[in-house]
Chain A
Amino acid sequence: EAGVTQSPRYAVLQEGQAVSFWCDPISGHDTLYWYQQPRDQGPQLLVYFRDEAVIDNSQLPSDRFSAVRPKGTNSTLKIQSAKQGDTATYLCASSPDRGSAETLYFGSGTRLTVL
């Protein structure tokens, strides 16, 4: 069984540039999460989907961040006009069960540096 796939692995931007992150969850997993993990901190939930629907995006900075999962499979997280404070690792996770920590599978993450 293939795991959660994320790309790119690394990204380096100047402030004000845009970037997109892509996530391919495990086949059949209906729940998909995006987490932001600043250096030396735990992952912090940005948004999560069940199928194509956004369930919770309350922690997503809506002025510059957007996330979609149009067919309930792959997902894209986009940052418009990146800031230095966005420097972090962005983790995608999927689960076959609603909000279950026990069946949460993570990708390798995208490490973003904003200069």
Chain B
Amino acid sequence: GQQVQQSPSSLVLQEGENAELQCNFSSTATQLQWFYQSPGGSLVSLLSNPSGTKHTGRLTSTTVTKERRSSLHISSSQTTDSGTYLCAIYSNTDKVVFGTGTRLQVSP
């Protein structure tokens, strides 16, 4: 089945620095979604990017479908960005499969 690997597993930044998160998946994906999970546990969708480059606010995602990889760039990080970032893939197996997550900590 589909496997989704994320790197790094954890990342510590100073406020204002940029973050680069990676997601690699094992087979063709028809959808790719980045989620944010707060330290309290709730998950919210950040953006959907099955291919190409998409921007929203300080977030930029680039997905290279044929290479089965996606990145999430967070510019000018803030302490409120701290949490876990999850990549999720939907393929033709009709399931949404999540990656292992990147835990981001932004210090003031």
- A41, A101, A108: the one contacting B96 at CB < 8 Å is A101
Closest to B98 in A: A42
Which residues does chain B contribute within 8 Å of A100, judged by CB atoms? 31, 90, 96
- A55, A98, A102: the one contacting B48 at CB < 8 Å is A102
CA of A89 to CA of B43 in the docked complex: distance in angstroms?
A: 12
Which residues does chain A contribute within 8 Å of B86, judged by CB atoms? 42-43
Q: Known interface pairs A101-B31, A101-B32. Does A44 touch B98 (Cβ–Cβ under 8 Å)?
A: yes
B101 close to A (CB within 8 Å): yes
Q: Known interface pairs A56-B95, A104-B33. Does A42 touch B100 (Cβ–Cβ under 8 Å)?
A: yes
Closest 4 CB pairs of A and B: A101-B33, A42-B98, A106-B43, A102-B48
Interface range, B side: 20 to 34
A residues neighboring B (CB under 8 Å):
33, 35, 40-45, 48, 55-56, 89, 91, 93, 98-102, 104-109, 111
Extra contacts, 10 of them, besides A99-B90, A99-B95 (Cβ < 8 A), are A35-B98, A42-B6, A55-B94, A56-B95, A89-B41, A93-B43, A99-B96, A105-B45, A106-B42, A106-B43
B11 close to A (CB within 8 Å): no
Report yes or no: B41 in contact with A111, Cβ–Cβ below 8 A: yes
A25 CB → nearest B CB, Å: 14
CA of A93 to CA of B53 in the docked complex: distance in angstroms?
A: 27
Report yes or no: A108 in contact with B94, Cβ–Cβ below 8 A: no
Name B1-41 residues within 8 Å CB distance of A. Answer: 4, 6, 31-33, 40-41
